[in-house]
Amino acid sequence: KLVRGHDMAKDQSYVVHMMDQHQLSRTLFPVGEMTKTVVREHATRLGMRTANKPDSQDVCFITSAKDNEGRSGRVSFIGRRIPLNPAVVVDELGNELGSVESVELVTLGQRRGVAGGGGTKRFVVDIDVPGRKVVVGPESMLMVDHEVVDNVVWSNEPYVGPARVQCSAHGEPRSAVLSVDDAGRVIATWTEPQRRISPGQSAVFYDADDRCVLGGGLVTRSAQMSIQ
């Protein structure tokens, strides 16, 4: 079984959820039952030079320094690998509100840096990368009653029923009921409506005790449900 690490603040089960039984049978997790403090104590005792190395923050391989063009580390890193294209920002009725410098850097649920005004809180509720369009609207437009998860890898056997679902590395697990559609995709139906998850994000399924990994896959799409 793949279970959460003893140190919940450093738990990596979300990241390695795609390991199957064959891979798990050949893998050891030597620090899984230790806290980070204990690991550092062992490292100090063994004379390891990384014993007191500060914890990495955010994405450890992206520098916070700006490049020669004045771009932030994140923008520079992505911009060297894919083209960055401007996009128009519209509201839910199609009214043009402004623009953003790069549609590729906009995220679902984002508020900062997107056109709003008028004292109305607007969030990114849809991103059309090919069409270079960002749609903003009220937070209620982000709420959904389920997510569709594809490319699922089960840690052991396929499972349907109550579960806890985590959709980011440090996200709060939420209660859902898992089912499987005719295409083999998992439908995670939330017990209570949740914010929509960006396609491509991993959704990891845990047992009802939020301890053991059942499996996980990639979010493909979700059914929008407006909450008044």
Output the six-digit token pair for 191: 């017990």
CA 67 to chain CA mean position, Å: 27
Which residues are CB-contacts of 12 (< 8 A; sequence separation ≥ 6)? 5
CA 13 to chain CA mean position, Å: 14
**What is the C-alpha separation between 156 and 22, in angstroms, rounded?**
10
Residues 17-49 pLDDT 10s: 999 999 999 999 999 999 999 999 999 999 999
Q: For the chain (length 228 residues), average pLDDT per consecutive 10? A: 93 95 94 94 95 78 66 78 93 92 92 72 92 94 95 95 96 97 95 94 97 96 46
The pLDDT value recorded for residue 228 is 32
**What is the C-alpha separation between 200 and 150, in angstroms, rounded?**
9
SS3 222: strand
Output the six-digit token pair for 161: 């029923």
**What is the C-alpha separation between 129 and 126, in angstroms, rounded?**
10
The residue whose two tokens read 């083209």 is 83
The pLDDT value recorded for residue 144 is 94
The pLDDT value recorded for residue 79 is 83
SS3 164: strand
Q: Where are the domains of the chain?
A: 86-137, 142-224
The pLDDT value recorded for residue 121 is 86
User: Which CATH number is correct for 142-224, 1.20.1250.20, 2.10.109.10, 3.20.20.70, 2.40.30.10?
Assistant: 2.40.30.10
Planar angle of CA 88, 117, 130, nearest 5 degrees: 15
Burial tier of 122 (Cβ tally within 10 Å: 0-12, 13-18, 19+):
buried
The pLDDT value recorded for residue 117 is 57
E strand or H helix that includes residue 161:
strand 161-166
Planar angle of CA 69, 71, 76, nearest 5 degrees: 100
The pLDDT value recorded for residue 227 is 34
Taking the CA atoms of residue 67, residue 70, residue 72 and residue 77 in that order, the dihedral angle to the nearest 10 degrees is -40
